[in-house]
Amino acid sequence: MPITRELALKIIRYLLNNPSFYFPFKIMYREYVSYTDDDNDFVEIVPSDGYENLIEDLQYDTFELWEDLQDLDLQTLELMSKGFIDKILKNEKNLLKDFIFITFEGITFQPNSESDTPDIENMQIIGFEKGLDVNEAFENLKLHQEYLKNTTFDEIIGIELASKEFNYFNLNC
């Protein structure tokens, strides 16, 4: 995995300051002396050797991390697993879709109405929820809005929202 010179130096400095920390990667740099377009000669950096040379010599500018999984200790496994879990959870959040749940049941009166008869036949918004699909979002809605169990609404429609942007309009303008 390519990394910047700055990150490579930070990793090396950390490893020098924390010699008991197991880092499951080799820090590699392209050997600039023999570098040509056809040459991929990478050399491993041993943190205790040559760190000062890397700081002083700016020609060392192509770095990579190569895996070096050996004798993993518990702390390293925990750090690695947390990294993978974070990646999975971030990806899952990106997969969640927004849904609106509505029903034709119920009635609506316009503002300041004094009539017993509804002025407008329309749909009622039951709620909003996220899910991988409409079924999961509906289960989440029932889980997060428990008061819905005490209503008489029965037939619910779920619609995926393409956007969460709102536009406001006035009828009387």
Question: Would you say the pTM of this structure is higher than 0.85?
Answer: no
pLDDT digits (tens, 9 = 90+) for 130-172: 988 999 999 999 999 999 999 999 999 999 998 878 888 888 8
pLDDT, the chain, mean:
82
- As a whole-number percent, the residues of the chain with pLDDT over 90 amount to 21
Instruction: Determine the average pLDDT of the residues in 99-122.
Output: 80
Domain boundaries, given as residue ranges, for the chain? 2-70, 95-160
What was the pLDDT predicted at 33?
A: 54
Partner residues linked to 20 by β-bridges: none
The answer to whether residue 59 scores a pLDDT higher than 90 is no
Distance of CA 128 to the CA centre of its chain: 21
Q: Give the residue among 11, 10, 4 at the shortest CA–CA distance from 68.
A: 11
- CB of 113 closer than 8 Å to CB of 119: yes
